[in-house]
């Protein structure tokens, strides 16, 4: 992770975000999912769009099937996760974006 990427990641991580979940714990879960994907984006090894979408979809599915975050499959939480991951993709110089519609491949 470059210094600029680390600074951006720290800024993202440094405050609670609203992913439009019903409870604060749901927002924290979405932020955790986005954080995991962003670390992949800023990692040493290059990642593909399909890999990222599968990772995020799997994490969303895990949260949903746990029974604690049923609203995570609504339209807004995945859209918000995609938004932050796409910002990271731009910062890292990738030439693609993730599409929140493709996250549903895991559930």
pLDDT in tens, 50-106: 999 999 999 999 999 999 999 999 989 999 999 999 999 999 999 999 999 988 765
| pTM (whole model) above 0.85 | yes
Domain chopping of the chain, boundaries: 1-10+19-69+92-107
d(CA 90, CA 76): 21
Q: 76-92 vs 3-13: helix axis angle to the nearest 10?
A: 160
C-alpha radius of gyration, the chain, whole number: 13
Q: Which residue has the higher pLDDT, 40 or 15?
A: 40
Nearby residues of 31 by Cβ (< 8 Å), 6 or more positions away? 16, 17, 19
Are 30 and 76 contacting, i.e. CB atoms less than 8 angstroms apart? no
């Amino acid at each position: 992770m470059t210094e600029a990427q680390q600074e951006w990641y720290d800024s993202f991580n440094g405050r609670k975000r609203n992913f439009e979940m019903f409870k604060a714990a749901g927002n924290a879960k979405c932020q955790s999912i986005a954080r995991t994907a962003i670390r992949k984006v800023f990692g040493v090894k290059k990642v593909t769009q399909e890999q990222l979408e599968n990772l995020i979809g799997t994490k969303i599915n895990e949260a949903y099937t746990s029974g604690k975050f049923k609203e995570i499959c609504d339209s807004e939480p995945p859209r918000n996760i995609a938004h932050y991951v796409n910002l990271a993709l731009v910062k890292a110089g990738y030439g693609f974006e993730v599409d929140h519609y493709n996250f549903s491949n895991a559930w």
